[in-house]
Amino acid sequence: MNSKQFLFVGTLVLLLPLGACTPKKAVTGDSLKENTPEAMMDQLVRNQVHAEWLDAKAKISYNDGYQTISANATIKMRKDSILWIAVKKLGFEVARMQVTRDSVYILDRLNNEYDIKDLSYLESSLNIPANLQMLQAFLLGNPVFFTRKNLQLEAAESGYHLWGKDEMRENHFWMNGKQLLLEKTTLSDGRSGRNMALELKEHADLTGNQKFSYLRQLELNSRETGKVNAEISFSSVEINNPIEIHFEIPERYTRMD
């Protein structure tokens, strides 16, 4: 896996929870009968996962039509401060990435190289927002991209379907009928030509009466990436336990061309 592939896989880790959220206080299907699309959107925003710290392990795989890559990842986060990811293959760390409020740091362990970019590099390379808070929200599974215009709500086969559309973006959310856990979301962005479809599965309890989707399946289609299918399976997730996060550039490493 070269540094560019790692950046893409690392970014997928951040993007996979796109639009997800998980209620702390369940709203039953019966109580939804008198609800409105606007109230349901408020519910999505209110019921975000809250974490000062995160320490997680996951297996990532993606297929871009040309090659398939699978790797194990360790992910660490401190709210509004730092986001850190290390990728291993066959038990060896092959790359590491750190995102701060203003910069992206990359270590290519295979070639003894490093690079430092400002956050605009992520946006220009992969067409994602260059904002640490947004990336951390993605990782926790909290909604970031959504529109409140032209909201509509209807009953779906397994629960409810909420969607909205403005001049540039259209969002759809499918929630189950018992706890209103988000099970699927799609995004179409007219400005970037990007389309995403994400399924969230295997929800389990986290600290503070919160839930987390341990299995996510993503289909991404854009001018920059073409069609990509990806899956992330979390094996462990811990929140709100202070952890040490280290990122050092060895002296023998050279800067990438």
Tokens of 165: 């559309």
State how far the Cα of 12 lies from the Cα of 229, in Å rounded to an integer. Answer: 10
Tokens of 175: 């929630």
The string of pLDDT tens digits covering residues 135-174 is 887 777 676 666 778 889 998 887 889 998 888 888 898 8
Please give the domain boundaries of the chain with CATH numbers for all domains.
3-243 (2.50.20.10)
What is the residue-wise DSSP string for the chain? --HHHHHHHHHHHHHTTTT----SS---HHHHTT--HHHHHHHHHHT----SEEEEEEEEEEE-SS-EEEEEEEEEEETTTEEEEEEEETTEEEEEEEE-SSEEEEEETTTTEEEEEETHHHHHHH-----HHHHHHHHHT---S---TT-EEEE-SSEEEEEEE-SSEEEEEEEETTT--EEEEEEEETTTTEEEEEEEEEEEEETTTEEEEEEEEEEEEETTTEEEEEEEEEEEEEES----------TT-EE--
Q: Give 19's pLDDT tier (boundaries 50, 70, 90).
A: very low
Contact 201, 185 (CB under 8 A): no
Entry pTM = 0.78
State how far the Cα of 128 lies from the Cα of 11, in Å rounded to an integer. Answer: 9
Cα atoms found within 13 Å of the Cα of residue 151, Cβ hemisphere only: 15
Task: Quote the pLDDT of residue 193.
Answer: 82
Task: Quote the pLDDT of residue 126.
Answer: 57
Task: Quote the pLDDT of residue 158.
Answer: 78
The string of pLDDT tens digits covering residues 198-234 is 888 898 888 878 888 889 888 888 877 788 888 889 9
Contact 103, 247 (CB under 8 A): no
**Is residue 239's pLDDT more than 80?**
yes
**Is residue 28's pLDDT more than 50?**
no
Work out whether strand 254-255 and strand 226-239 pair parallel, antiparallel, or are unpaired: unpaired
The string of pLDDT tens digits covering residues 68-115 is 888 999 999 999 999 999 999 888 999 999 999 989 999 999 999 999
The string of pLDDT tens digits covering residues 41-67 is 777 777 678 889 999 999 988 888 888
Sequence-ordered list of residues with C-beta below 8 angstroms from that of 215, at least 6 positions apart, any chain: 200, 201, 202, 231, 232, 233, 234
Tokens 């606007």 sit on residue: 38
Sequence-ordered list of residues with C-beta below 8 angstroms from that of 154, at least 6 positions apart, any chain: 160, 161
Among residues 140, 122, 91, 96, the alpha carbon closest in space to that of 11 is found at: 122
Amino acid making up residue 102: D
The string of pLDDT tens digits covering residues 65-76 is 888 888 999 999
**Percent of the chain beyond pLDDT 70?**
81
Task: Quote the pLDDT of residue 39.
Answer: 80
